[in-house]
Amino acid sequence: MQDRIEYFLFISLSYIVRLLGLSLSQRLSYLLAAFFYFIVPIRKKTVKENLQKAFPEYNKAKINKIAFGSYASFCITLVEILYLPSMSKSELESSVSYTDIPLIRGKYNEGKGVIFLGAHFGNWEYIALTVAVQLDIPITVIVKSQRNTLVTNWLDKMRVKWGNKIVTLGISIRQVYKELREKRIVAMVADQRGPSDGIRINFMGRKASVFAGPALLALKTGAPIIFGVTIRQPDYSYKTAIEVISMEDLPEEEELRIAELSQRHASVLEKYIRQFPEQWFWMHKRWKY
């Protein structure tokens, strides 16, 4: 029953966003952010604790400003996702500016497959959609099931709207290997907290557990890792930041190779978080252990 009520509210909000239009809904997102930040402060304590750990040099006022900005960023992303059923392909293409498509296409043409690694930054759902549209090449998106299967199913329909396909994380890792062995592009995110016994890296000045999956897949298949995020602009459009993660000069021991490669892509993410801290998703306990 709870799932059905949540889904009803989710779908109702989607219809409201589509009725109001994307531009107005994006501007009104700040009211939604204020509601969740000041009135129903979901995970507010976690957000501030994370920011204090990541930026110990910042005073309380600056921490509070970034914290509210992160809520606003998430709410903008939310309404953009809710608008997807009404979004046209041309709207999607014009929403994100790419200058690095030749780089991605060049790596794809090497015939080793590509691991397109994103993060919960800007609008993380847009990036796999728009890369596939810009390249005119379907992408296999690795997704994590949400608690509410009705919402998950809705999201999955949006993710495949323009030709991409999805593989659920944890159900078919063999399918992920198969996609890379068949020289396809596989998109995933790996910026949240890894397992308690996972590999530790340095992230935002602290030791943090990381998911080793992207590094392990790259080393096993030879597929390059391309890191990409969308950076929201003042007019609500996005510019992309795309970087190839170097696989040169890695240690010989496998565990050290995985740790080093994981450190490299985490360091690239950290660079963009430090530039645009409000655009990263701070609502999970990144340094729980």
Pull the structure tokens for residue 91. Answer: 């709207």
In the predicted structure, residue 56 carries a pLDDT above the cut 90: yes
DSSP 209: E
Residue 209 backbone dihedrals phi, psi, to 5 degrees: -75, 145
| First-last CA distance in the chain | 34
> How many CB atoms are located within 10 Å of the residue 51 CB?
23
In the predicted structure, residue 232 carries a pLDDT above the cut 90: yes
pLDDT value of position 22: 97
In the predicted structure, residue 170 carries a pLDDT above the cut 70: no
Q: What global pTM score does this model have? A: 0.94
In the predicted structure, residue 112 carries a pLDDT above the cut 80: yes
pLDDT digits (tens, 9 = 90+) for 6-41: 999 999 999 999 999 999 999 999 999 999 999 999
pLDDT digits (tens, 9 = 90+) for 130-145: 999 999 999 999 988 7
- Lowest-confidence pick of 49-58, 102-111, 168-177: 168-177
Question: How confident is residue 172, by pLDDT bands cut at 50, 70 and 90?
Answer: low
Question: Which of 216, 228, 208 is closest to 261 using CA atoms?
Answer: 216
Q: How far, in Å, CA of 64 to CA of 85, rounded? A: 34
